[in-house]
């Protein structure tokens, strides 16, 4: 069996095919860097090296001083072997970047396996790494590669190495979006039993949080401060005023399960439904609102505001987690764009009788 002793080809390029690009210094934005290598044996014949072994003998380095970049760390410049939801080149509209972003956005757990691609063409093997940098990084970084053969001979693509290919990444400051940068639209939606006026009448409006941009969008959201019990998931605000014998119920909901295009989808109804107005005790009533009813549901976070009225002696308490006529949270939302830039927003659950209001500072 031949021994890996040398390298006849060693190059590094961005997966997009270019040698330089921008990167957001937010610790999340990852840039795909592909290393091409042609291993050889003691007779200078091209040989095949197991991809896993090849990966263990290869490092990304500073092109100038040959220092090794950190592996899977939170330091200034780091790299890993897995993509994430934020693997996209800032400002790029080329198909490679768009494809990488689309595939990464398709699943919250994208590519936890090693992103190793090998090809037998001319004996050249390829390995793709993903580079990222932390906040505060301001200076560009030129990146080469170090390979150590099975005879412990080191071969580099660097300023003073045998090979001289490099990629250069230029950091951009992380972006924080404010209220004026996002769209907060609302429209009436239907409910499953909304027209059943014999017992309860339910009116509902969907609110849509999205990034107001032509070339960027939110790809994932995290939410805090809401109920999580079955039947009340996403419920964050309830108001039952004392007027009219407590016949009016006002509720606020956030539909934060992902992926949005399938987490709530009900095949029998042909659309996504969220459970609202859940009063199983006394009133024995619950309803379902149609949610994620716009194009590209993965790009926005959907909320529902509900006003329901009932007859008789009004709404009954306790019901589920509700033990008082007014219970609410101040809902906190973290929204991430396709480059991993994080922004925070709040919806004040204490005042929803007239609808839902979005803030970029805590109310």
**Which pLDDT score is estimated for 40?**
96
**Which pLDDT score is estimated for 20?**
96
Residue keyed to tokens 């017992």: 199
Phi, psi of 298 (to 5 degrees): -70, -10
Which residues are 283's β-sheet partners? none
**Which pLDDT score is estimated for 295?**
95
d(CA 295, CA 140): 38
Query: Percent of the chain, pLDDT > 70?
Result: 92
d(CA 253, CA 207): 10
**Which pLDDT score is estimated for 81?**
94
Q: Is the peptide bond before 259 cis (omega within 30 degrees of 0)?
A: yes
If one compares 312 and 49, the residue with the highest pLDDT of the two is 49
**Which pLDDT score is estimated for 107?**
38
d(CA 49, CA 54): 6
**Which pLDDT score is estimated for 256?**
96
Q: Is 122 helix (H, G, I), strand (E, B) or coil?
A: helix
**Which pLDDT score is estimated for 117?**
52
Q: At residue 94, does pLDDT exceed 80?
A: no
Q: Which of 285, 278, 281 is nearest to 251 (CA)?
A: 278
If one compares 184 and 75, the residue with the highest pLDDT of the two is 184
**Which pLDDT score is estimated for 122?**
79
List pLDDT tens digits, range 200-240: 999 999 999 999 999 999 999 999 999 989 899 999 999 99
Binned at pLDDT 50, 70 and 90, residue 194 comes out as confident
Residue keyed to tokens 């290598």: 37
Q: At residue 336, does pLDDT exceed 70?
A: yes
If one compares 195 and 242, the residue with the highest pLDDT of the two is 242
- Give the strands of the sheet with 248-255, arranged side by side: 182-189, 200-211, 301-310, 248-255, 235-239, 326-328
If one compares 337 and 107, the residue with the highest pLDDT of the two is 337
Q: Is the peptide bond before 318 cis (omega within 30 degrees of 0)?
A: yes
Query: Percent of the chain, pLDDT > 90?
Result: 83
Cβ atoms of 276 and 304 within 8 Å: the answer is yes
Give mean pLDDT, residues 101-112.
38
**Which pLDDT score is estimated for 312?**
86
**Which pLDDT score is estimated for 61?**
98
If one compares 312 and 207, the residue with the highest pLDDT of the two is 207
**Which pLDDT score is estimated for 140?**
97
Q: At residue 299, does pLDDT exceed 90?
A: yes
Question: In this structure, what token pair is assigned to residue 113?
Answer: 């396996």
List pLDDT tens digits, range 251-274: 999 999 999 999 999 998 889 999
Give mean pLDDT, residues 83-109.
60
Q: What proportions of the chain, in percent to the nearest 5, are helix, strand and coil?
A: 10, 45, 45
Residue 322 is given by DSSP the state B
Give mean pLDDT, residues 339-363.
96
Q: At residue 33, does pLDDT exceed 50?
A: yes
**Which pLDDT score is estimated for 23?**
97
To the nearest whole number, what is the mean pLDDT of the chain?
A: 91
Q: Which residues, at least 6 apart from 219, have a Cβ–Cβ distance to it below 8 Å?
A: 85, 86, 104, 105, 298, 299, 336, 337, 338
Q: Is 356 helix (H, G, I), strand (E, B) or coil?
A: coil
Cβ atoms of 11 and 87 within 8 Å: the answer is no
Q: At residue 354, does pLDDT exceed 50?
A: yes
Give mean pLDDT, residues 56-65.
97
Residue keyed to tokens 């996403």: 234
Residue keyed to tokens 């769209």: 183
Question: In this structure, what token pair is assigned to residue 356?
Answer: 């839902």
């Amino acid at each position: 069996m031949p021994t890996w002793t040398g390298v006849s080809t060693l190059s590094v390029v961005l997966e997009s095919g270019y040698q330089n690009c921008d990167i957001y210094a937010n610790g999340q934005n990852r840039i795909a860097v592909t290393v091409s290598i042609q291993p050889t044996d003691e007779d200078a014949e091209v040989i095949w090296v197991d991809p896993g072994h090849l990966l263990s003998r290869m490092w990304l380095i500073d092109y100038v001083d040959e220092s090794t970049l950190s592996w899977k760390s939170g330091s200034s410049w780091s790299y890993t072997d897995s993509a994430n939801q934020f693997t996209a080149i800032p400002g790029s509209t080329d198909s490679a970047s768009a494809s990488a972003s689309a595939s990464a956005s398709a699943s919250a757990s994208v590519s936890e396996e090693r992103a190793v691609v090998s090809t037998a063409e001319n004996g050249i093997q390829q390995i793709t790494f993903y580079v990222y940098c932390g906040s505060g990084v301001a200076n560009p970084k030129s990146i080469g590669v170090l390979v150590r053969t099975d005879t412990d001979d080191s071969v580099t693509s660097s300023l003073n190495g045998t090979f001289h290919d490099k990629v250069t990444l230029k950091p951009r400051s992380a972006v924080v979006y404010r209220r004026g940068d996002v769209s907060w639209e609302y429209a009436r939606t239907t409910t499953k039993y909304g027209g059943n006026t014999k017992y309860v009448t339910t009116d509902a409006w969907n609110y849509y949080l999205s990034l107001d941009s032509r070339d960027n969008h939110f790809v994932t959201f995290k939410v805090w401060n809401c109920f999580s019990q079955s039947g009340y998931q996403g419920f964050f605000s309830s108001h039952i005023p004392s007027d009219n014998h407590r016949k009016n119920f006002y509720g606020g909901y956030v539909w934060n399960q992902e992926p949005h295009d399938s987490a709530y989808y009900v095949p029998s109804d042909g659309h996504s439904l969220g459970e609202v107005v859940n009063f199983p005790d006394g009133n024995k009533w619950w309803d379902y609102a149609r949610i994620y009813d716009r194009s590209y549901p993965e790009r926005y976070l959907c909320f529902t505001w509900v006003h329901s009225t009932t007859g008789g002696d009004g709404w009954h308490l306790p019901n589920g987690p509700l033990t008082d006529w007014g219970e609410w949270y101040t809902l906190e939302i973290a929204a991430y764009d396709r480059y991993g830039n994080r922004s925070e927003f709040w919806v004040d659950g204490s005042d929803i009788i007239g609808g839902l209001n979005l803030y970029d500072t805590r109310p």
